[in-house]
């Protein structure tokens, strides 16, 4: 009854599908740090006695609210019930384990980055030593300290008697890739701010550091632009309940910053812009049916000066609202049929000598857009088609590879041309299937393409993408976690961390930890969490 | 006023909903608004009435056989008053033409139970009359849901309803959801929320696959060690007698039967932890390997245990049926065991272990029969030729060939329910609800008499990959597609009309606090408030 016989035997026969069971020697650490030594000497943490505080040598003090907020958050996670798995008490138990009274956080650089925004060049490394009587977390700046606090919290467990305990450990850690992102799509479904914040919180638990905010697209335009308020007034699903106000956007950015996460907005043009046209007349190309306008619209109209005037003003606003050094400009999936139908476009093509090659028109548009964005002092990311079409790009452009089947060749080409790149093709989490698909995401090796060492250095990371056709506030969070956690470890941990069964054991407990922290992260397979999710 | 009339309150929903007085053009995308599942007969006029928050009442008709002492109805009135006026209207529609002159007000919904016995304190059964027939001005429980689905918000946010006459009854009597609380424990809160959602979709059977290999969360009063040893955790991951009682009563108040499944002889690994000698010891060569197989069918103690256990089950669960499982029995352990081999020889079973399985099931059925319960079994039990009582319900689940199986089962004269096309634990990208919706349960070759034996179906959500974190959005609104197939007329199959209604029905579930996932891109006026 339970399922088809075929699947039944498959599962029985495949050790990777067993609900397991075992525990990893690395406990529930996720993603696995670069260097880990855990001894079996354990200490207890007292609820009243344990403190997280600035080391006196630290360059960040009580005025660093980023750290103070993080201490409060992790104190709550650690002693409010973060220990999710009972483990055997260490051998010192009988003689009464010693107590760990303090975690000292020591920012070693003169500039702690406390009030800064994280960037692609931020140093995220940290070193954590858990020993009696104090544990020490050393990091060059606050970004590494945040990761170290998460790791510290993952070392804490409940012993047989429910006492919070931690084993003596030495950890030295840094990310394999600098860009570790999650793409959420707030156009196909509006995501309430609460959902975005909860997922930023979960990203921090998984050491993700980029929130790629695909904020607008064809179906709706929820971004409330101060310069062009009619865009959301007309283009959002609802002008009040389904928009992101400037205050909302600011809150998302600050919430993310406090967790070491960059917010990179995507304003995708010239395609995927149907919702823009509702509030901005003449922005989109009128499509023709024979010799008369059909009443429908195509991509952004690339032949009007007003288009570029608009883009100049719009991206100037974007550059001030979003502090990150990069903005994602999209550029994917441009449908040429509307352009082809329009007589004015045809005339322009002739004037420019583009012949019938509409990708030249697309490149013409993108080139002008890139020049505009460059004047706003931002770097840009673009989807791979822009590169494929031969548009001239700034050297610091990040090319985003997303087309499956051939992404290795594409990575080779992009890096051979000297551009930095990030990979998403194998990590489209909106595609679902029965079973443990996290394993498929986990097994991806981003540097498996043919290329020189120099080329591989140009791969700065990747993103898990959860496009919005089928997800909204009701199901997004459990669909994203812990499947995205598999991507998190691939992007953070060493290349040789690839033991699926050890990963299963750690991830199962990590999943329960997310659940205990109030995140509805779905199960990998049958089994249970000591504290099940309290919602429905 | 508006009356809902039904023969009995359990199915309070039968009846005729007649609304009259003023106006509104109900122009949603579907001419049937957001009704789901679609009632058998619907007439909605464009005359609309307003419902005033302070003035509107749901009350017993004075002719009704159920009065204020019928707490089932009183609870339902409260629930639906909240849904209707607490914000159940999910779609703004254009004000009707009479708007300027002020639409009339609908002040009352009268609920008229017409049978002398209202069934108010009874349990629903497979023969409950869920129809709502009616005369003018009448209405019931299922009818309350339908009434609430007729209410919408007009342009000014005013709760409105159009003059309507609805006559309704289900196409199939057995419309179930299977939840699996063994592979993952489901907190009571999750079960109750899904019962509530079942009622919104007019499902009437909760098939509780309560135990299985991974865990045994059912706390048995007779054999407490079963959950003590076999549950994931003996306190936090068990269903106590009080929990079970609460589930049953919560379901009853919503016209839902609770049919427990205690699957044997396979799928019983968790039973063995608290009941030594119940399972067959497997052998490796000539010595026990330390692992165990299906229930041991050759010991008298096995049947003594089953007798006591199912006697308890028969008193704990009031429904007339219990599901006895009987699927996917793996013979390899039996084959390894020398005592079993000897028994096979004695019985003259040769090498045919399905005979041994049948031997066990036959004895089990006889035991359960003495508890005065009917039983449901998975199709293998029928396939193996076990002798079944005439009122046995055969549950068809194996995909690819389920039509042939339905033909065979009904040709043999057994009633049957279908689940094969509705295994909702299988997921894929896209709108798979359409696939479930397009299923026609009576498409197999057979006589009219055979087709009458198909009493319904169940959507199954097996528990390997779902727990409290993701079960509800994975079940809804995908199961809603099954709900309409089992309730509405056979000819209700316009996918695009269904899409239009289901989209709004989905938003209504969301507004009622249920995280029902989206069908496709779009939005709800009130998005889900949780994460």
Cα A328–chain centre separation = 14
pLDDT band at B285 (very low <50, low <70, confident <90, very high): very high
Token pair in block for residue A488: 């998190």
| pLDDT greater at residue A3 or residue B318 | B318
Instruction: State residue B119's pLDDT score.
Output: 84
Residues of A in contact with B232 (CB under 8 A): 527-528
Is the model's pLDDT at B388 over the cut of 70? yes
C-beta separation of B152 from B93 below 8 A: yes
10 Å CB burial of residue A340 (0-12, 13-18, 19+) is: middle
pLDDT band at B118 (very low <50, low <70, confident <90, very high): confident
- C-alpha pair distances (Å), A246 with each of A239, A253, A271, A458, B326: 14, 11, 25, 34, 60
CB contact under 8 A, A533 and B212: no
A418 C-beta neighbours (distance < 10 Å), count: 12
Is the model's pLDDT at A93 over the cut of 90? no
Which of B267, B462, B510 is the closest to A474 by Cβ?
A: B510
Which of B187, B429, B516 is the closest to A532 by Cβ?
A: B187
Q: Which among A498, A436, A426, A435 has a CA at the least distance from the CA of A464?
A: A426
Is the model's pLDDT at B34 over the cut of 50? yes
Give the range with max mean pLDDT: A48-57, A96-105, B291-300. B291-300
Q: Which among A275, A151, A171, A150 has a CA at the least distance from the CA of A221?
A: A275
- The rounded mean pLDDT for chain B is 89
Distance CA B257, CA A23 (A): 41
pLDDT band at A76 (very low <50, low <70, confident <90, very high): very high
Q: Active-site residue among B82, B155, B328, B527?
A: B328
CB contact under 8 A, A522 and B473: no
Distance CA B484, CA B481 (A): 5
CATH number of the structural domain B174-512? 3.20.20.80
Instruction: State residue B13's pLDDT score.
Output: 32
Distance CA B265, CA B357 (A): 8
Is the model's pLDDT at B299 over the cut of 50? yes
CB contact under 8 A, A536 and B460: no
CB contact under 8 A, A477 and B531: yes
| Greatest pairwise CA separation for chain B in angstroms | 91
| pLDDT greater at residue B138 or residue B518 | B518
Distance CA A514, CA A378 (A): 35
How are beta strands B174-180 and B205-209 bridged, if at all?
parallel
Is the model's pLDDT at B389 over the cut of 80? yes
Distance CA B518, CA B522 (A): 8
Mean pLDDT along residues A100-107? 96
CA distance A115 to chain B (A): 29
Q: Which among A464, A495, A436, A426 has a CA at the least distance from the CA of A203?
A: A464
Instruction: State residue B54's pLDDT score.
Output: 77
Distance CA A420, CA A403 (A): 17
Mean pLDDT along residues A419-438? 98
Show Cβ contacts of residue A498 under 8 Å, excluding neighbours closer than 6 positions: A442, A443
Is the model's pLDDT at A124 over the cut of 60? yes
Residues of B in contact with A529 (CB under 8 A): 467
Do the domains spanning A35-78+97-173 and A179-517 agree at the CATH topology level? no
pLDDT in tens, B182-216: 999 999 999 999 999 999 999 999 999 999 999 99
**Region of residue B471 (phi > 0: left; psi between -120 and 50: alpha; otherwise: beta):** alpha
Domain boundaries, chain A: 35-78+97-173, 179-517
Is the model's pLDDT at B514 over the cut of 60? yes
Mean pLDDT along residues A404-430? 97
Residues of A noted as catalytic? 333
User: Rounded to the nearest 5 degrees, what angle is found at the Cα of B288, between the Cα atoms of B283 and B294?
Assistant: 60
Is the model's pLDDT at B136 over the cut of 50? no
Q: Which residues pair with B160 in a beta bridge?
A: B50, B152
Mean pLDDT along residues A432-460? 98
Is the model's pLDDT at B531 over the cut of 90? no
Instruction: State residue B131's pLDDT score.
Output: 56
pLDDT band at B19 (very low <50, low <70, confident <90, very high): very low
Token pair in block for residue A403: 């087309």
C-beta separation of B479 from B435 below 8 A: no
- In degrees and rounded to multiples of 5, residue A49 shows phi and psi of -90, -25
CATH number of the structural domain A35-78+97-173? 3.30.379.10
**Region of residue B489 (phi > 0: left; psi between -120 and 50: alpha; otherwise: beta):** beta
Distance CA B289, CA B287 (A): 6
CB contact under 8 A, A526 and B183: yes
Cα B262–chain centre separation = 17
Q: Search chain A and give the residue with CA nearest B463.
A: A526
- C-alpha pair distances (Å), A302 with each of A285, A529, B157, B272, B456: 8, 55, 42, 72, 58
Instruction: State residue B141's pLDDT score.
Output: 64
Is the model's pLDDT at A430 over the cut of 80? yes
Mean pLDDT along residues B255-268? 97
Which of A198, A242, A433 is the closest to B531 by Cβ?
A: A198
CA distance B194 to chain A (A): 9
pLDDT in tens, B322-381: 999 999 999 999 999 999 999 999 999 999 999 999 999 999 999 999 999 999 999 999
Residues of B in contact with A189 (CB under 8 A): 518, 521-523
Token pair in block for residue A388: 């494929």
How are beta strands B15-18 and B159-168 bridged, if at all?
antiparallel
Instruction: State residue B11's pLDDT score.
Output: 34
Is the model's pLDDT at B134 over the cut of 70? no
The fold of A179-517 is TIM Barrel (3.20.20)
- For a pLDDT cut of 70, what percent of chain A falls above it? 93
Is the model's pLDDT at A338 over the cut of 50? yes
pLDDT band at B107 (very low <50, low <70, confident <90, very high): confident
Sign of CA dihedral A472, A474, A479, A482: positive
Residues of A in contact with B523 (CB under 8 A): 189-190, 220, 237-238, 242, 472
Is the model's pLDDT at B130 over the cut of 70? no
pLDDT band at A81 (very low <50, low <70, confident <90, very high): low
pLDDT in tens, B303-323: 999 999 999 999 999 999 999
- Tokens 């066990």 correspond to B360
CA distance B69 to chain A (A): 32
Say how many residues make up chain B.
531
- For a pLDDT cut of 90, what percent of chain B falls above it? 75
Q: Which among B84, B90, B106 has a CA at the least distance from the CA of B22?
A: B106
How many interchain CB pairs under 8 A, A with B?
A: 173
Is the model's pLDDT at A258 over the cut of 60? yes
Helix (H, G, I), strand (E, B) or coil at A468: coil
pLDDT in tens, B394-442: 999 999 999 999 999 999 999 999 999 999 999 999 999 999 999 999 9
CA distance A433 to chain B (A): 5
Distance CA B157, CA B525 (A): 12
Is the model's pLDDT at A336 over the cut of 50? yes
| pLDDT greater at residue A283 or residue A86 | A283
pLDDT band at B98 (very low <50, low <70, confident <90, very high): very low
C-beta separation of A183 from A465 below 8 A: yes
pLDDT band at A521 (very low <50, low <70, confident <90, very high): very high
pLDDT band at B53 (very low <50, low <70, confident <90, very high): confident
Instruction: State residue A371's pLDDT score.
Output: 95
- For a pLDDT cut of 70, what percent of chain B falls above it? 89
Give yes or no for a cis peptide into B265 (omega within 30° of 0). yes
pLDDT band at A80 (very low <50, low <70, confident <90, very high): confident
Distance CA A420, CA A121 (A): 13
Instruction: State residue B502's pLDDT score.
Output: 97
pLDDT band at B286 (very low <50, low <70, confident <90, very high): very high
Mean pLDDT along residues A31-57? 94
Is the model's pLDDT at A9 over the cut of 80? no
CA distance A512 to chain B (A): 11
> Which CATH architecture does the domain made up of B41-86+102-168 adopt?
2-Layer Sandwich (3.30)
CB contact under 8 A, B521 and A198: no
CB contact under 8 A, A189 and B523: yes
Helix (H, G, I), strand (E, B) or coil at B244: helix
Q: Search chain A and give the residue with CA nearest B192.
A: A536
- C-alpha pair distances (Å), A143 with each of A2, A514, B15: 47, 21, 65
What letters, b where the CB count within 10 A reaches 16 and e where it falls short, cover B128-162?
Answer: bbbbbbbeebbbbbbbbbbbbbbbbbbeeebbbbb
Residues of B in contact with A188 (CB under 8 A): 521
Say how many residues make up chain A.
536
- The rounded mean pLDDT for chain A is 93
Residues of A in contact with B512 (CB under 8 A): none
Instruction: State residue A18's pLDDT score.
Output: 45
pLDDT band at B295 (very low <50, low <70, confident <90, very high): very high
- A48-62, A185-199, A486-500 — which is least confidently predicted? A48-62
């Amino acid at each position: 009854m339970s399922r088809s016989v075929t699947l039944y035997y498959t599962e029985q026969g495949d050790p990777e599908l067993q609900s397991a069971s075992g525990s990893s020697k690395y406990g529930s650490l996720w993603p696995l740090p670069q260097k880990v030594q855990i001894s079996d000497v354990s200490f207890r943490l007292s609820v009243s006695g344990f403190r997280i505080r600035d080391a006196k040598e630290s360059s960040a003090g009580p005025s660093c609210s980023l750290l103070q907020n993080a201490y409060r958050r992790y104190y709550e996670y650690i002693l409010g019930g973060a220990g999710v798995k009972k483990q055997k008490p260490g051998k010192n138990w009988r003689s009464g384990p010693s107590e760990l009274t303090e975690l000292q956080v020591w920012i070693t650089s003169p500039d702690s980055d406390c009030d800064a925004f994280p960037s692609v060049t931020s140093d995220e490394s940290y070193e954590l030593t858990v020993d009696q009587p104090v544990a020490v977390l050393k990091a060059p700046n606050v970004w590494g300290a945040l990761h170290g606090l998460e790791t510290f919290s993952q070392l804490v467990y409940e012993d047989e008697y429910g006492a919070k305990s931690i084993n003596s450990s030495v950890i030295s850690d840094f990310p394999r890739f600098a860009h570790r992102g999650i793409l959420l799509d707030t156009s196909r479904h509006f995501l309430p701010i609460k959902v975005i914040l909860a997922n930023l919180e979960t990203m921090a638990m998984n050491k993700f550091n980029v929130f790629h905010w695909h904020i607008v697209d064809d179906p709706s335009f929820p971004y409330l632009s101060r310069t062009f308020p009619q865009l959301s007034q007309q283009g959002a699903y609802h002008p009040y309940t389904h928009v992101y106000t400037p205050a909302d956007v600011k809150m998302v950015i600050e919430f993310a910053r406090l967790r070491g996460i960059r917010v990179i907005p995507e304003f995708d043009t010239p395609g995927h812009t149907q919702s823009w046209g509702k509030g901005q007349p003449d922005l989109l190309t009128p499509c023709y049916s024979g010799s008369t306008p059909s009443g429908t619209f195509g991509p952004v109209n690339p032949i009007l000066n007003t288009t570029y005037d608009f883009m100049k003003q719009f991206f100037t606003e974007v550059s001030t609202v979003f502090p990150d050094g990069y903005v994602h400009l999209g550029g994917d999936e441009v449908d040429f049929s509307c352009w082809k139908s329009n007589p004015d476009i045809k005339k322009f093509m002739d004037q420019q000598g583009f012949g019938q090659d509409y990708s030249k028109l697309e490149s013409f548009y993108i080139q002008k857009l890139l020049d505009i964005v460059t004047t706003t002092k931002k770097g840009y990311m673009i989807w791979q088609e822009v590169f494929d079409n031969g548009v001239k790009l700034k050297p610091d452009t990040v090319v985003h590879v997303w087309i499956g089947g051939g992404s290795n060749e594409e990575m080779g080409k992009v890096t051979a041309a000297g551009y930095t790149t990030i990979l998403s093709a194998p990590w489209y989490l909106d595609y679902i299937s029965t079973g443990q698909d996290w394993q498929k995401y986990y097994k991806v090796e981003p540097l498996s393409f043919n290329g020189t060492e120099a080329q591989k250095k140009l791969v700065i990371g990747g993103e898990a993408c959860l496009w919005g056709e089928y997800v909204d506030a009701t199901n997004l969070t459990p669909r994203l976690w812990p499947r995205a956690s598999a991507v998190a470890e691939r992007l953070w941990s060493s290349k040789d961390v690839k033991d699926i069964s050890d990963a299963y054991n750690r991830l199962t407990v990590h999943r329960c930890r997310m659940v205990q922290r109030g995140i509805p992260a779905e199960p990998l397979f049958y089994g249970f969490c000591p504290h099940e999710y309290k919602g429905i």
